[in-house]
Amino acid sequence: MVSRNTPSPSASRSTGRPVGSVTRGTTNPNRLRRMDRWIAATHGAALRRAEAPVAVDLGYGAAPWTAVELLARLREAAPRVRVVGIEIEPARVAGAKPYEREGLSFRHGGFEVPLDGTAGDPVGHAALIRAANVLRQYDEEQVEQVWGRLCARLAPGGLLVEGTCDEIGRRHVWVALGPEGPRTVTFATRLGSLERPSDLAERLPKALIHRNVPGEPVHAFLRDFDRAWAAAAPYASYGARQRWIRTARALAGDWPLADGPGRWRQGELTVRWEALRPVG
């Protein structure tokens, strides 16, 4: 739900207060498993190359489960990674402190992403920032400003992943951004629960959810997604996964997909941002 009284994400640093506003804090174990799995697969090599990679779980919510899980999943791909959970609500940080361990810490903050730096990087930049279900309460016109602020906190080669999922993580859509800006949009779902791909529209991130109307690229994409899914119905006899893969192959003829069968088998499909960029 959009909050019309949300503080501006460009709030002055001179106040010393974290930038942003408190979220509802809803969280569940394994809610972000699809996003984590994708990050480990697509960004794991970059995390392994980094000298001392730091991953940020921004706005982890009322319980620290997502940060704990992020550390475990990323360390399978990059054993030296550290995770910092950042929350704007002090009570949530205090509640998470007992879960700290080697490689996992929690601190008070917001979109300014407070991190400990080094002599060569005194500000401290992140190899990864994950912001899941954080921007839903903001106005659409604020998203670009928040993205810019967060991308400025990325190390060279870093990645920002910002998106939305349902309460138990069956349906998820996220945007991946580098220091230069948005790169891709990924649709991920538990295939057995999907009736049609456009069911994912309700989980579009804030930058796109209000653009699912005629004349906008994301609307055209979801329309074609549904049509390809319907045309692939005969493959359903081989299972929902085979139907999804066939659907993706059909879409690849008209849309610039950024992944292939290896990710499609996971119930994912990634398209270049330029193809879905909002009009105007």
Residue 7 is assigned to a structural domain of this protein: no
- Structurally, how many domains does the chain consist of? 1
29 falls within a domain: yes
Helix (H) or strand (E) holding 203: none
Nearest to 88 by CA among 179, 143, 168, 6: 6
Q: Which two tokens stand for residue 53?
A: 């990679």
Residue 10 lies in a domain: no
pLDDT, position 159: 98
What confidence tens digit (pLDDT) does each residue in 215-226 have? 999 999 999 999
Q: pLDDT at residue 166 above 90?
A: yes
Closest CA to 104 of 113, 96, 95, 94: 96
Is residue 2 one of the residues assigned to a domain? no
Is 186 within 8 Å of 267 (Cβ atoms)? no
- Give SS3 for 115: coil
The residues, ordered by sequence, that sit 6+ positions from 176 with a Cβ below 8 Å of its Cβ are 42, 159, 160, 161, 182, 183, 184, 185, 186, 270
Give the tokens for residue 195.
């009736």
Whether residue 6 lies inside any domain: the answer is: no
Residue 135: DSSP 8-state? G
The structure tokens 């949530």 sit at: 92
Q: ∠ at Cα 54 (100, 101), nearest 5°?
A: 15
**Percent of the chain at pLDDT above 70?**
93
11 pLDDT exceeds 60?
no
Tens digits of residue pLDDT in 228-259 = 999 999 999 999 999 999 999 999 999 999 99
The C-alpha atoms of residue 180 and residue 170 are separated, in whole angstroms, by 30
Say if residues 229 and 246 touch (Cβ distance below 8 Å): no
Backbone phi and psi for residue 165, each to the nearest 5 degrees, phi listed first: -140, 170
Residue 258 lies in a domain: yes
227, 228, 230, 236: CA torsion to nearest 10: -170
Of the pLDDT bands very low, low, confident and very high (cuts 50, 70, 90), residue 24 is confident
Q: What is the CATH number of the domain that holds 131?
A: 3.40.50
Q: Could you tell me where the beta strands, DSSP code E, fall in 102-153?
A: 104-108, 126-132
Residue 4 counted as domain residue? no
| Predicted local distance difference test score (pLDDT) of residue 248 | 98
Two structure tokens written together for 263 = 């990710």
Please give the residue range of the domain that contains residue 46: 16-274
Q: In the chain, what are the helix, strand and coil shares in percent, each to the nearest 5?
A: 40, 20, 40
Structure tokens at 27: 């969280």
Q: What is the pTM for the complete model shown?
A: 0.92
State the sign of the Cα–Cα–Cα–Cα dihedral 151, 152, 155, 157.
positive
- Give the model's pLDDT for residue 5: 36
Q: Is residue 11 part of a domain?
A: no
Residues contacting residue 71 through CB under 8 Å, at least 6 positions apart: 55, 81, 82, 83, 103, 104
